[in-house]
Amino acid sequence: MTSTSDAELTRDAFLGGRLHLWQPRRGFRAGVDAILLAAAVPARAGECVLELGCGAGAAVLALLARVPGAVATGVEVQPDYAALARRNALEARLPLDVVEADLARLPPAVRGRSFDHVMMNPPYFAAETGTGSADPGRDTALRGDTPLPVWIDAGLRRLRPGGRLTAIQRIERLPEMLSALDARIGSVAVAPLQPRAGRPPQLFLLSGKKGGRAPFRMTPPTVLHEGARHETDAEDYAPAVAAALRDGAALALWD
C-alpha cells in the first residue's frame, strides 16, 4: 500500500457491525485470524495491552471494543498501516496509542513501560520461504524479515511479571514458536484451531505467563466450522467462534 486516499481503501464491518475499520483495498487485509487473537486475550478493565505488528488495528481494536476500560498501545513498522490504525482508533473512540517503529528497535516511550498483556500475529511465513506478494504491505505482513525469536523477545521484555503473552500462528511454525520461548515465560498453553472436526489444525493460539510455573499443556482443539463440509452459502461457524466473530465474545481457552 502506497497511499491512504479513501479511493484506495474500504471501510469494513467487524464484530457484527460494532466496529468499522478502514483497510487497503489491495494489500494486507485483516480477517478472522485477527478477531480470534483478540478474543483469546483475557484482558480486563484497567489493564494495559501492547500489540506488536498491529497493522490497521483490527485485533487490538476488537479487544478494546470487548473490554471497556482497557487501554492499548500498537506498534507498527509500516507508516501507511500505522496511520490507518490511528484513524480507526479515533473514529471508533477507542483508547489506542499507535507507535510507528520496528519492534526490534522500540523507542524509549515503549521500552520504558510494562504491560499486562502482549498480543501478536507474527508473519505466517519466514522471509526466505515461498514467493513474495507484489504488494509491499502485504508481503511485510505475511513474510516479514524479523525472525520469530525477535518477536517473542520483544514481547517478553515488555510484559510485567505475571503478564500474559498471546499469539496466533500457522501450525507448521509451532516448533519454531516453542523453541523461541525461554525461562522468562511459563504456564504455556497451545490451542489448535481446526477448520472442521476431523481435519488437521491449520492455526494455533498460544498463551503463556511471564514467570509462570504451571506445566505446558495442549487444549482440546477449537473447531471453527460445524459439519464435515460447507453445504450452503450461509456461514457455518461453531457457536463459540460465531460469538467471538459477530458478538465480540471472549474465547475461554486459558485458565
- pLDDT tens-digit readout, 41-57: 999 999 999 999 999 99
What value does the mean pLDDT take over residues 205-224? 97
Look at residue 2 and tell me whether its pLDDT is greater than 80: no
Q: Whole-angstrom Cα distance, residue 68 to residue 64?
A: 6
Would you place residue 232 in the very low, low, confident or very high pLDDT band (cuts 50, 70, 90)?
low
pLDDT digits (tens, 9 = 90+) for 159-194: 999 999 999 999 999 999 999 999 999 999 999 999
User: pLDDT at position 140, please?
Assistant: 46
- pLDDT bracket for residue 231 (50, 70, 90): low
Kindly give the residue spans of alpha helices, DSSP state H, lying in the chain. 32-40, 58-66, 79-92, 108-111, 136-142, 148-158, 174-180, 239-247
Which domains, ranges and CATH numbers included, belong to the chain? Answer: 6-247 (3.40.50.150)
Element (H, E) at 190: strand 185-196
- For 84, 118, 129, 149, the CA distances from 177, given in Å and listed in that order, are 29, 15, 17, 7
Confidence of residue 131 (pLDDT cuts 50, 70, 90): low
More confident call, 232 vs 194: 194
137: pLDDT strictly greater than 50 = no
Average confidence (pLDDT) over 184-208? 97
Look up residue 174 and give its amino acid.
Answer: L
pLDDT digits (tens, 9 = 90+) for 108-119: 999 999 999 999
- DSSP 8-state code for residue 211: T
Average pLDDT over all residues of the chain: 91
In percent, the amount of the chain with pLDDT more than 70 equals 89
Whole-number pLDDT of residue 141:
45
Spatial distance between the Cα atoms of 23 and 223, rounded to a whole number of angstroms: 28
pLDDT level of residue 130 (50, 70, 90 thresholds): low
How confident is the model at residue 145, as a pLDDT?
Answer: 77
Which amino acid, one-letter code, is at 150? Answer: V
106-121 as b/e, with b when 16 or more CB fall inside 10 Å? beeebeeeebbbbbbb
pLDDT at residue 136 above 90? no
pLDDT of res. 27? 84
Please give the C-alpha separations between residue 223 and each of 108, 135, 204, 217, in angstroms, as whole numbers. Answer: 41, 32, 11, 18
> Given this model, what pLDDT does residue 233 score?
57
**pLDDT band, residue 125 (cuts 50/70/90):** confident
pLDDT number for residue 7: 86
The pLDDT score that the predictor gives to residue 4 is 55
Cell of 243: 460469538
Measured in degrees and rounded to the nearest 5, phi and psi for residue 157 equal: -65, -30
Residues 93 and 65: beta-carbon distance below 8 Å: no
